Amino acid sequence: MSITAVIPARKSDKMRAPEAEREAYFTVLDEIRARNTDKDPDEEFEYITTVVEAVRQEQYDREQATHGSP
């Protein structure tokens, strides 16, 4: 089983950072992977998708309340 991380473009700069920073960045990624070895990737993806959708809906609702409907 493998787990894939989606890395925002601004974070990809870390991959081109000086060696010490790069090593520290990947050490953190390795720690995250180690803490999640017992997780089902499909269940985690579903959970993350649900949370992201809820946050987007809250932002949309807030925007509508502030600016009103067209």
Domain with 19 in it: 1-38
pLDDT of residue 9: 64
Same domain, 3 and 32: yes
What is the tally of structural domains in the chain?
Answer: 2
- Take residue 42 and report the two structure tokens written for it: 């499909």
Q: At 50, give phi and psi (nearest 5°).
A: -65, -45
**pLDDT classification of 47: cutoffs 50, 70, 90:** very high
Higher pLDDT, 69 or 30: 30
* Apex 19 CA angle, 35 and 2, nearest 5: 30
Same domain, 1 and 31: yes
Same domain, 26 and 4: yes
Same domain, 27 and 45: no
What integer is the mean pLDDT of 25-52? 93
Same domain, 6 and 32: yes
* Apex 17 CA angle, 16 and 21, nearest 5: 135
Judge if pTM exceeds 0.75: no
* 70 vs 64: CA distance, rounded Å: 9
